[in-house]
Every structure is written in structure tokens, then in C-alpha cells.
Chain A
Amino acid sequence: MAQAATQQPQMGGSSPRNRAARWAKNPIVRRLGKAVLTIFIAVTLSFFLIRLMPSNPIQVYITQLISTFGLSYQEASNMASSLFSIDLDRPVVLQYVDYLANLAKGQLGKSLISNGTPVTAMIGEFLPWTLFSVGTALFISFTLGTLLGMTMAYKRGTPLDHALTTFASIMSSIPNYIVAILVLIFLGVQWKLVPVTAMRGSLSPGVVPGFTWEFFSDAFFHAFMPILTYVLTTVGNWMLMMKNSTLSALGEDYVTVARARGLRDRTITLSYVGRNAILPLFTNLAISIGFIIGGAALIETIFVYKGIGWILLTSINQRDYPVMQGVFLCITVSVVLSNLLAEILYSRLDPRIRVPGSDN
């Protein structure tokens, strides 16, 4: 693809090579290519990390099987290879090819601990909760942050602005797991405002998913503390960014012109300043999504919220490598996809911004 991209467009226009070159220049195709490459590298990394490390987890598992169940080496090795869905007798490179082929078929191996459960089934069970809590939190903090940021810009220099700026700069410098611990300590233990232990898990026992009030309220009840933490830790950044971007939009000529035309303040605020000020924030949305989903591993573990991050840490602590591998891939794929979505959304929203990489 890189070669095709450097091809000069030739005269005449429709030879296959030329068409390939034009495809390669298409920003969305480029992005897709980069996304696929990223996922491929994550796959490779996770495979070789587990296979080639000095303390080879598969070897450790085999010796463990031999010592605890008294199996022969061959039996233990067969069992391990069926759980990892890897044929251990073949050379590492071929094992890698097999691993890729299995991935393409959607097979991620089986859990070592909860015997035989396919990793894909576990991901299907836990991923929706992470997407739900992170998505809701991102929506709330983006909306709240932009509104507060605009308010700060319009009321700049007032005590309100100073108070909010201080709040935002402090909140954006505290690590999110520390905020989570503080939320747990103060809301749950010291002031006893929320029932911490009842809020663990992602749903109460007996509640079935469906379009019922009971289900939705229960889902929010369990997600309350993770969402609160994500909002608290990200809202500060949105506020500061929106304040700066509103201030620079306010200085633009079109705002002065709109004022001179006698447009109402409300119209100017919303459709002239707000719209243009919010655009630069979308580039940060992509980075922010990755950061929150990545950090979810720590936050979910603190609140015992049973999402994909919780299962990642649990599988690491239980040395359940197939699950760890699969979940790591799943997290990477969700981050890559949400980045892709945010970038495409951004280039649709702002026609002025050309796609980075295509402007040489």
C-alpha cells in the first residue's frame, strides 16, 4: 500500500494500478489500513509475549498439570494445546499462523480456570457493560465539560471562572484510580451515602436484560460509581479545552460581523461561537476514548464492576492466559474502532480540516 501511495497518477486514469493508487490516497481507506495494521500488531505482540517469554506460561501450565493431576507430559501438553487452541508440537512460526487462522474464524481459545468456557463467550458477556458505562460517562462529561467551558469563557475573570478553572486543573491532574478510591472511601465507607457492596457486579441477581424500567435502573445503579469516576476525571480536560477554544472563537471576525448584523446573543453563542469552538475537541475525543477504555481495567477492578477491564485483571491474577490474550485483543480492537469512528466523524464535521497524512 505504501508503494501504491507513492505512485504518481498517470495519464488516462483507469488502469488497475492507477485505480489502486487512487484508492490508497482515499483518507478513509488509509485509516482502515492503519486500523487493520494496528490490530495485526497487537495480535502479534500478544502471541509472542505469551509464547516467547522466559517464563513461558504454556510450559508453566503444562508442568502444573503434570504435578497436580499426575498426567504424562504428552497428555498435559495435549490438554494445554486444546485450551490455548495451539498445536504445541509444531514450530512457533506455524503456531503463529494457526493462531491467526483461528482468530480469523473467531476462535480465541478457552479459559484455563472456568474449564472450557470459550473466551469469545466471556467477552460477549463482559464487553457490553464496559461499552455502556464508558459511553454514558463520555457523553455526560463531554456535554457537561463543553457547557461549563463555554460558561467559563463568557464569564472570564469572575470568581466563578477562577473556581471552575482551579477545579478543572486539579481534577485533570489526579490519576483516575485515585479518584475511584476516594469515591469509594468517602461515598461508600466514610459517609455511607451509597451501598458499596450491593453495587458490585454489573446487574443484581434476578434482573433480566430487556426493555424494562427495572433493568435500566438496575444497570445505572451498578454503573453509578464507575461513571461518576470517569466523569470526574475527564470533565476537567473538556472544560479547559472548551474554554480556550471558545475564547479563540470569540475573537474571530465572523463573531464581530454577526454582532454587527444585530443577531441575538443566543444565536451567536450557539450557532456561531459554540459550533466552531466545539470542533477542535473532537480530535481529542479519539485519544480520550482510548485512555478511558484502557483505564477501565483499573477502575472496574476497584469497584468490582464486571466489565471487560475487570476480567482482564482477574485473568492476569489467576494466570488465565487465553482469557488475558483474548481480552487484551478485544480492548485494543474496541479502541481502534472507536478511534476510527471519531476520526471519520471529525472529518465529516469539519470540511476545512483535511485528513492528516493526505496533505503532502
Chain B
Amino acid sequence: MSVQLQKSQPLELTKQYLTAIFVNPIRYIARNRAGFVGCCVLTFLLLLSFIGPYLVPLDTQARIDKIYSPPSWDHPLGTDSEGKDVLSQIVNGGRDVLIVAFLSGLITTLIAAPLGAISAFFGGKVDALITTVADIVLTIPQIPLLLVIAAVIRFNNVYMLAFILGITSWPGLLRAVRSQVLSIKEKDYVEAARLLDLGTGHIIFREILPNMMGYVAIAFILATTAAVYAQVGLILFGLVPLSGHNWGVMINLAWVRGAIFFKDSIWYIMAPVTAIVLFQWSMVTFTRSLEEIFNPSLRSGD
């Protein structure tokens, strides 16, 4: 009987998650109106950045008679300082930013989630060591540290940048995961598993982790937005010489070429700014839907 119980419970949970993720996601996501809007905007931006470039090629033709022109039928988002189409730059400029952000979010989560879980689960000296290291890395201010690193190391490629962003931003997440595991650890079903002497591996992977999935997913999204923040900040001030067009480089060019102080250039600057703000906002809002999916106790009665 007891064997039946401990085997079926994680299975049931997994089934619930699979239903929530694949079978009818829209129904779940639509429960939270803001979260639904966020999800739609996010999907739109992802499609725009990853499929858009195949449909709208990058415009490389300079038109000196059309510098900083306002939106028109030919150029729906206006033109830049060389008369190039802004819309094509927006479509082609998302991919690099998003790849770095997701990779770095992934690295952050991969460091923070297991370490946080280990720290909370074992407690004692292990916990003291991990939290002290996390506290120290957390206290050293991230942006100045990144600026100093960027001054000495040249970030030559996307992966390098993602790696540096990831290893400087895990401690905040680790703290959050740790406190979450601490609270789950005290739950009755974990206590029961411990009394049944099911072993540490079983307790961590079958009892605690499945209940952490939603939380880790949300943490991953927040880590991704933090990576966008740091990354675009570095690009904006020209410290990451990423070639090509991306949203950060567009703002950087507006800044370097003094377009910010030029009244007509408003359409050019607002395009990448809006894209970044929309991405950040939609990610944060989307987490609310996820919270409701993974945490049924938050669901309101209707």
C-alpha cells in the first residue's frame, strides 16, 4: 500500500504538469488576463525574432534623401541615420539578444537551482559555505563588475557573453530556490518519505524537484530578463563589440551618433526601446500565468 502511494504521487504530479503544459495550455494561461496578454506578446516577439528574418531581409541600402524619416508605407517604422529601414533592423535585431538572454538564464538556473536545493536540503556546513559564497557574489555589484570585466576581456562571441552574464548572476536566484526548498522540506509528504526511509536521492528527485518545477521555470524567466538588462546595458555603452544589428546596438548607435539629441530621430530610438521594454514586460507578466498553473492554491474561484 505504502509503496503504491509513494510511486503514484510523483507520477500523478508529472501527469498534471504534462496536462498543464501540453494538453490545454491556452485555457490555463487565459485564466490570468495580464498573463495571457504577456504570453501573446512574448510569442509574437519570439516569432518576429526567429522566423521574421527569413521573411524580412536586413535592409542595407543607404538612402541619403530619407534620413530619420517618420513612418510611411514603405518604411512602417521610419528610417535610421543612413536612411535604412528600421523595421528590418528590429526584425533582424532580436535573435542575438534573445539567444544570449536565454542561454545566460539557463546557465544561471543550472548553477542556482541544484546548489540552492543542496544548500537547503543538507543544511549545516554545506549550507553555510554555499550561502556565504552566494552572499559575497551577490554583494559585489554586478554592473560595475561586468564593466570591469568587459574592459579587460573582449567578448568575442555570443556564448562568451552569455557565460559571463550567467556566472555573475546566479546568487539571487540561489537564495530564492533555497528558501523555497526550505519550505517544501517541511511539508508532510517529504516528512512521510523521510520516515519511510526512501533515501536522499528519492526525496530530492521524486518529492522535492517535481514540486519545484514551476518555481524553477519562473526563476529561469526572471534570470533571462536580468540577462537582457545587463547585456543591453553593456552593448549600449559600446563595451560589447557584438557585430551586426541588434536592439542594443541600435540604441548604442543612436547614442553614439547623437541621435538622442536630434528631434526627428524619435521614431528610430523608440523602435528598439519599445522592443526591449515589451520583451521585459511580457516575460515578467507571463510568470503570473505560470504561477497560477504551477501553484493551484493561487487560482481564484472563477
Contacts of A154-201 to chain B: CB distance below 8 A: 169-170, 172-175, 177-178, 181-182, 184-185, 188-190, 196
A55 nearest CB across to chain B (Å): 7
- State the Cβ distance, B226 to closest chain A Cβ, in Å: 10
Q: In the complex, which residues 108-153 of chain B have their Cβ closer than 8 Å to any Cβ of chain A?
A: 123-125, 128, 131-132, 135-136, 138-145, 147-153
Stretch at the interface among A11-19, A250-258, A324-332: A324-332
Asked if residues A332 and B284 are in contact (CB atoms below 8 Å), the reply is: no
CA distance A151 to B238 in the complex (A): 42
Contact A50 B233 (CB under 8 A): no
- A38 vs B145: C-alpha distance in the bound complex, in angstroms? 13
Task: Select the stretch in B23-31, B45-53, B274-282 that faces chain A.
Answer: B274-282
In angstroms, Cα B278 to Cα A175, docked, is 11
4 new A-B contacts at CB < 8 Å, known A34-B136, A178-B273: A174-B280, A294-B144, A328-B145, A357-B131
- Is B239 an interface residue when CB atoms closer than 8 A count as contact? yes
B189 at interface by CB-CB < 8 Å? no
A313 near B: Cβ within 8 Å? yes
Instruction: Specify which of B131, B154, B277, B283 lies most central, judged by the most chain A CB atoms within 10 Å of its CB.
Output: B277
Query: Contact between B147 and A312 (Cβ–Cβ < 8 Å)?
Result: yes
Contact of B276 among A170, A175, A185, A339 (CB under 8 A): A175
Partner among B34, B139, B277 whose Cβ is within 8 Å of the Cβ of A174: B277
Question: A173 to B141, Cβ gap below 8 A?
Answer: no
Q: Produce 1/0 per residue, B145-169, CB < 8 A to A.
A: 1011111111000000000000000
Determine whether A212 belongs to the interface, using a CB cutoff of 8 Å to chain B. Answer: no
Cross-chain contact A53 with B153 (CB below 8 angstroms): yes
Q: How many A-B residue pairs have CB under 8 A?
A: 130
Which candidate, A118-126, A268-276, A295-303, is the interface stretch facing chain B?
A295-303
User: Which residues of A approach B to under 8 Å, CB–CB?
Assistant: 2, 6, 34-35, 37-38, 41-42, 45-46, 49-50, 53, 55, 57, 169-170, 172-175, 177-178, 181-182, 184-185, 188-190, 196, 287, 290-291, 293-295, 297-298, 301, 309, 312-313, 316-317, 319, 321, 324-325, 328, 331-332, 335-336, 339, 357, 360
| B143-A297 in contact (CB<8A) | yes
Q: B285: CB under 8 A from chain A?
A: yes
Q: Is B266 an interface residue (CB 8 A)?
A: yes
* A37 proximity list for chain B (CB < 8 A): 132, 136
Question: Which of A175, A328, A360 gathers the greatest number of chain B CB atoms within 10 Å?
Answer: A175
* Bound: A316/B237 CA distance, A: 11
In this complex, what residue of B is CB-closest to A165?
B34
Q: Which 6 A-B pairs give the minimum distances between C-beta atoms?
A: A294-B141, A294-B143, A316-B151, A173-B284, A53-B152, A173-B281
- Which listed residue, B34, B124, B144, B228, touches A312 by the CB 8 Å rule? B144
Does B144 lie within 8 Å of A332, measured CB to CB? yes
Sample of 9 A–B contacts (CB below 8 Å): A53-B152, A174-B281, A175-B229, A177-B233, A181-B260, A190-B266, A298-B236, A328-B144, A357-B128
The answer to whether B281 touches A293 (Cβ under 8 A) is no
**B131 / chain A contacts, CB cutoff of 8 Å:** 357
Does chain A have a CB within 8 A of B7?
A: no
| B142 contact from A6, A185, A294, A325, Cβ within 8 A | A294
Cβ B143 vs Cβ A335 within 8 A: no
Partner of A293, one of B141, B147, B228: B141
Residue of A49, A175, A309, A324 near B280 (CB, 8 A) is A175
With CB as the reference atom, state the residue of chain A lying closest to B127: A360
B132 pairs with A324, CB closer than 8 A: no
Taken together as a complex, chains A and B put the C-alpha atoms of A295 and B145 apart, in Å, by 11
* CB–CB A173/B225 < 8 A: yes
Q: Report A-chain residues with C-beta under 8 Å of the C-beta of B172.
A: 287
* A339 engages B236 (CB within 8 Å): no
> B269: which of A181, A291, A293, A313 is its contact (CB, 8 Å)?
A181
B277: contacting residue among A55, A178, A290, A357, CB under 8 A: A178
| Cβ contact within 8 Å between A331 and B141 | yes
The CA-CA distance from A317 to B236 in the complex, in Å, is 13
Cα distance A287–B153 in the bound complex, in angstroms: 27
